[in-house]
Amino acid sequence: MKTYAIGDVHGRADLLEALLSHIEENGPNGGGHRVIFLGDIIDRGPDSMKAMDMVVSELNQNPESRLILGNHEEFMLLFLDRPDKREIVFDHWMRNGGLAAAASYGLDVGGRYGRIEEAHESLLELLHRRQDHIEAMRQAASLINDGANVFVHAGLRPGVPLEQQTTKDLRTIRSGFLDNDFDFGAMVVHGHTVTSSGLPEICQNRIALDTGAGAGGCLSMMMVDDDGARTFFQSGSAREVVKVELSQRPDEH
């Protein structure tokens, strides 16, 4: 089975549509593939709701495909589930790209509210209309391990068994992971941290696929073939998907 891993979308539904169309047009006949979304489908870019529509559609059409929960999806779930911390979560979420997502779901972000609670209530009502999106997030994985690759949103804590990794590390880790050549026993495929090159980056123990789509960069995808061979693609426009030739980065440690 071919696996397609897609990095952080961040509301760039146009780029995601291009990659999914590429899979449909070039994937194996009769199925035999899965798509793994590495999380952060929403926030920052202009079309979070449309991007989630595409993810949900893929999950419904292909039971082998999976969504990994990113820290930005976690913001939305915390906003929905923690009324005791709603004001704090809302403020943090909006300041970290959530305003664009709220607007895409229909919230008037012009600030014409007499009370902040009115904005909360309006957004809650809008989000609850998309139970399919909420359910997909609730059912999302924290990591996926196929033996050769561990797919995760942010990364892993070195020296900690997979079953003991914390959700905080899985969704937010940088220091201690990005600067460490620890052998996890499998290649860690992750997003969360935008690569400095704007390209997917292959390191000794990890492959980074967040190439800054939500900040005007490209959206990247890795295809793992039946024999384990990896091929990389990027979409930088709604019409074009290009194959990217990469080599392993020199060891920096």
Q: What letter represents residue 170's amino acid?
A: L
> Percent of the chain beyond pLDDT 90?
87
Mean of the per-residue pLDDT values of the chain: 93
Q: State pTM to two decimals.
A: 0.95
247 pLDDT band (50/70/90 cuts)? Answer: confident
Q: What is the mean pLDDT of residues 182-188?
A: 97
